[in-house]
Amino acid sequence: MKRLLLSLVLVLPLLAGCTKKDNVITIGEYDSMTGSEATFGLSSNKGVRLAFDEINAAGGIKGKKIDLKAMDDQGKNEEAASAVTRLITSNKVVAIIGGVASGRSKAAAPIAQSHGVPFVSPASTNPDVTKIGDYVFRVCFIDPFQGAVMSKFSSETLKIKKAAVLRDVKNDYSVGLADAFVEDFKKRGGEIVSDLSYQSGDIDFKAQLTQIRSKNPEAIYVPGYYTEVGLIAQQARQLGIKVPLMGGDGWDSDKLSEIGKEAVNGNYYSNHYTTESTEPAVTEFIKKFKAKYNETPDALAALGYDAAKILAAAIERAPDLSGKAIRDELAKTKDFAGVTGKITLNENRDAVKSAVVIQVDGKNRKYISTVAP
Amino acid sequence: MQDFVQHLINGLSLGSIYALIALGYTMVYGILKMINFAHSDVYMVGAFAAYYVARWLGIDAQPGLPTLITLLIASMVVCSVLGLLIERLAYRPLRNSPKLNILITAIGVSLLLEYGGQVVFGADPKVFPEVMKDFVIFSAGGVELKSFDVTVLIVSLLAMLGLQFLIHKTKVGRAMRAVSSNISVASLMGVNPDRIIAFTFVIGSALAGVGSVLVGMKYPKIDPLMGMMIGLKAFVAAVLGGIGNVGGAVIGALIMGLSEEMVVGYLSSTYRDALAFGILILILIFRPAGILGKYSVEKV
């Protein structure tokens, strides 16, 4: 009797799991909801939730409701890997919406690849991420493009000939952008007068900035994350460096202005979309996002939304819920009208689309120009 | 030349921050012969205390002297109480156990504060309130001396002088030295070692509180792991100067700050942290007692 009871106790949850699985589709998400890049993860998560809530309200996918399992990786690679393992092995998710930070995606995507679970990153821009395998996708452009965008912008629009680079050597993303910028800038006949580095977590950058100051560049490319960039901008202005700073989408956070105060104003960065756009897809998204969260969505929220919508569309088209079927449909994504532009996934599973250049102006972000690939 | 002077100023300013924290390590070591690895995390808690007090009082956007003083007091009080609690709950029960047990406990307390801090405060960085306006005190040939840099340097030198005075000229100081040289004999002479040790923790932790507000003023980004690296560097600085020696801690910290700055300025920033620990290794090989430390022969 005892043994029977015990086996019932063991089997019941499994049965419950089975019945539950029949009317919902479980999709996993992991992101940095806490840690030094928390605003990225939180924004992306809000975008994903908004997309799935909309789809559920409209009847779900294949008549089934989407059940989103979100996990926090605290901005740590090992946590990202364990979150994805848990999502796949215990939550039995059909697909994963992956990390924002490239480092986190590189740690987690191989696990999804080896289990044959489709993995869509909203914002990991490092080129190596999708090279992990044919189950790994992304809905954003890649670093070489983003670095080249700022190089093109600085030499064509700002007419800059001498630039300095300050990169975060601990951060794949920052190194990727810096390399792309340097290569493209030299190709355009510009000169890199100084190429220095720092490490995420540092708080004092005056030594590097003093050295940069002595080389008199006309602009400084700092493709790091907002946490350090805020401090770098402040210390640059304290040292009397007046030339513009430039960066990538890692700047896109309200905390940038909170940390850097007025020192970050007037500086430029490349981004995925602008809230000033008049495209109906964008205005509609901003309206819905504001209604739900009472705040203006940043680029990461828009990318999270697009990633979720593209994944949902692929699942809807797929003949069944197997990883292979969903993967094949994801790979066929073409001209998807997303908030961050028309998204086509190329043979490398990367999105091909244009970037915008934004100028920081207090809490506002001024749209400057669009750069096509 | 202009750059060199600028590097010099930057280095001294960074060194004076290390000094404020190194003083806390050196004080506790001087009295108890133990390294309080939780010291830099007390400093972290101090920064968060100031942050929350400023928000609670609504003075986080009102830079000025009253704000500075309020936050200094808040941070010092919270740090002192925390230091006292750590001493009472974690170290005092182990007072007569082997050194290694106390060291491991200190590391445990440190990790508890760091990761407990992530649970309580959240792991995302917070922006420290604007305490004072930074202004240029002196400017010549493109080299600028800012008020923050000078403030931190002066405060750490004052703290050093204050501690020297306390240790060498007051009755409590004499008791501290007595406890430092031999706890049991000191207690036979009518000194209450528990009280003196608790007092040491209060002073050391209050210094960490002062440090946290000054650092927050200069680098307005605080997070629960902010004490980790700065704590290790300050510890190396204390060893470099001669651990247990108050003047040595400040000298060691200034040397650390300057050499880090020069390494980043003239070589590469990747060597920054390697340098600190390289210095530690060299010091331990060639002059284990540190610059101002004295060799002591242990009688067995």
DSSP string, A72-84: E-TT-HHHHHHHH
Q: What is the pTM of this model?
A: 0.80
* CA-based torsion, A184, A187, A191, A195: positive or negative: positive
**Residues B192-203: tens digit of each pLDDT:** 888 999 999 999
Tell me the CB-side half-sphere exposure of residue B286, using CA atoms within 13 A. 8
For chain A, list residues with pLDDT below 70: 1-22
Which residues in chain A have Cβ-Cβ distances shorter than 8 Å to B263?
207
At residue A353, the pLDDT reads: 85
Which residues in chain B have Cβ-Cβ distances shorter than 8 Å to A238?
134, 144, 146
**Residues B231-247: tens digit of each pLDDT:** 989 999 998 888 888 88
Collapsing DSSP to helix, strand or coil, A123 comes out as coil
Is some CB atom of chain A closer than 8 A to the CB atom of B174?
A: no
The torsion angles phi and psi of B127, rounded to 5 degrees, stand at -100, 120
Contact B3 A211 (CB under 8 A): yes
For residue B54, which amino acid is it? Answer: A
Averaged over B210-214, what is the pLDDT?
A: 90
At residue A17, the pLDDT reads: 47
Rounded-to-integer distance, Cα A65 and Cα A123, Å? 25
The torsion angles phi and psi of B19, rounded to 5 degrees, stand at -60, -45
Pick A255's closest partner by Cβ from B122, B127, B264. Answer: B127
Which residues in chain B have Cβ-Cβ distances shorter than 8 Å to A227?
125, 221
Which residues in chain A have Cβ-Cβ distances shorter than 8 Å to B221?
203, 227, 230-231, 259
Is some CB atom of chain B closer than 8 A to the CB atom of A206?
A: yes
Task: Please give the ipTM for the structure prediction.
Answer: 0.80
Contact B123 A35 (CB under 8 A): yes
Edge to edge, the sheet with strand A65-72 lists A65-72, A24-31, A95-97, A119-121, A136-138
Pick A74's closest partner by Cβ from B13, B123, B270. Answer: B123
At B280, is the pLDDT very low, low, confident or very high (cuts 50, 70, 90)?
confident
**Residues B129-148: tens digit of each pLDDT:** 888 887 777 777 777 788 88
Helices (H) and strands (E) in chain B, counts: 11, 4
Rounded-to-integer distance, Cα A204 and Cα A357, Å? 28
Between residues B41 and B265, which one has the greater pLDDT?
A: B41
At residue B274, the pLDDT reads: 85
**Number of other CB atoms surrounding residue B158 within 10 Å:** 11
Of chain B, the end-to-end C-alpha distance in Å amounts to 54
Return the number of CB contacts < 8 Å for A and B.
93
Minimum Cα–Cα distance from B5: chain A residue: A210
User: What is the average pLDDT score of chain B?
Assistant: 87
Q: Find, among A179, A171, A165, A178, the residue nearest to A202 by Cα.
A: A171
Averaged over B277-291, what is the pLDDT?
A: 84
At residue A4, the pLDDT reads: 57
Rounded-to-integer distance, Cα A209 and Cα A228, Å? 13
Averaged over B69-82, what is the pLDDT?
A: 93
- For A261, counting Cβ atoms within 10 Å of its Cβ (0-12 exposed, 13-18 middle, 19+ buried), the class is middle
| A contact residues 38-77, partner B, Cβ 8 Å cutoff | 38-39, 74-75
Question: What's chain B's length in residues?
Answer: 300
Contact in structure between A191 and A161 (CB atoms under 8 Å): yes
Which residues in chain B have Cβ-Cβ distances shorter than 8 Å to A236?
none
**Residues B90-122: tens digit of each pLDDT:** 988 988 888 888 889 999 999 999 999 988 888
Proportion of chain B above pLDDT 90, given as a percent: 26
At residue B124, the pLDDT reads: 79
Q: Could you tell me where the beta strands, DSSP code E, fall in chain A?
A: 24-31, 65-72, 95-97, 119-121, 136-138, 162-168, 191-198, 219-221, 245-247, 268-271, 336-338, 341-345, 351-352, 355-361, 364-371
Rounded-to-integer distance, Cα A56 and Cα A54, Å? 5
At residue B149, the pLDDT reads: 83
Minimum Cα–Cα distance from A197: chain B residue: B269
Which residues in chain B have Cβ-Cβ distances shorter than 8 Å to A204?
10, 14, 219
Minimum Cα–Cα distance from A40: chain B residue: B124
At residue B279, the pLDDT reads: 85
Pick B14's closest partner by Cβ from A169, A197, A204. Answer: A204
Residue B217 pLDDT more than 60?
yes
